[in-house]
Amino acid sequence: MNKVYTKETILKLLSGMSSEKEIRKYLERFSSDDFRFAVIKVGGAVIQNDLENLVSSISFLHEVGLKPIIIHGGGPSLSSELDANEIEFSFLDGQRITTSEVLDVAHSVFTSESKKITNALEKKNVTSKAFYDDAFVCEIKDNKLGFVGEVCEINIASIKKSIDDGEIPILSPMGRTIEGQLVNINADNATLAISKKILPDKVIFLSELGGILDQNNVLISNINLKDDYEYLMSKDWLHSGMKHKLKQINNLLNLLPKNSSASITKPLNLTRELFTDAGSGTLVKLGHKINKFESVSLDQSSTVQSILEKSFKGKLNKNFFDGNKKYYLSSCDRAVIVMRYEEKAAYMDKFAVMNDARGEGLGKAIMKKMMLDHPKIFWRSRPNNNINSYYKNACDGFQKHSEWNIYWIGIEDLDELSGCIRYAIEQPLSITYEY
Ligand code: ARG
CB 284 within 8 A of CB 252: no
Sequence ranges of the chain with CATH classification 3.40.630.30: 290-433
Q: What is the pLDDT of residues 220-278, one digit of tens each?
A: 999 989 888 999 999 999 988 889 889 999 999 999 988 899 999 999 999 999 998 88
Q: What is the pLDDT of residues 345-386, one digit of tens each?
A: 999 999 999 987 777 778 888 998 999 999 999 999 999 998
3-285: which CATH topology? Carbamate kinase (3.40.1160)
Ligand 1 site, residue 273, Cβ cutoff 6 A: yes
Mutate which of 31, 261, 273 to test ligand 1's pocket (most atoms within 8 Å of Cβ)?
273
**164: closest CA among 86, 69, 74, 276?**
69
Ligand 1 site, residue 263, Cβ cutoff 6 A: yes
Sequence ranges of the chain with CATH classification 3.40.1160.10: 3-285
At residue 2, does pLDDT exceed 50?
A: no
Q: Whose CA is nearest to atom 3 of ligand 1?
A: 274
What's residue 12's pLDDT? Answer: 62
Q: Is the dihedral of CA 408, 410, 415, 416 positive or negative?
A: negative
**184: closest CA among 254, 117, 42, 89?**
89
What's residue 8's pLDDT? Answer: 61
Q: What is the pLDDT of residues 125-146, one digit of tens each?
A: 999 999 999 999 999 999 999 9
Ligand 1 site, residue 222, Cβ cutoff 6 A: yes
Ligand 1 site, residue 169, Cβ cutoff 6 A: no
CATH 3.40.630.30 fits 290-433, yes or no: yes
Instruction: Report which secondary-structure segment, H or E, holds 304.
Output: helix 298-312
Ligand 1 site, residue 38, Cβ cutoff 6 A: no
* Terminal alpha carbon distance of the chain: 37
Q: Whole-angstrom Cα distance, residue 432 to residue 435?
A: 10
Q: Whole-angstrom Cα distance, residue 387 to residue 343?
A: 24
Distance (Å) from CA 256 to ligand 1 centroid: 17
Distance (Å) from CA 264 to ligand 1 centroid: 10
Secondary structure of residue 232 in the 3-state scheme: helix
Ligand 1 site, residue 224, Cβ cutoff 6 A: no
Ligand 1 site, residue 223, Cβ cutoff 6 A: no
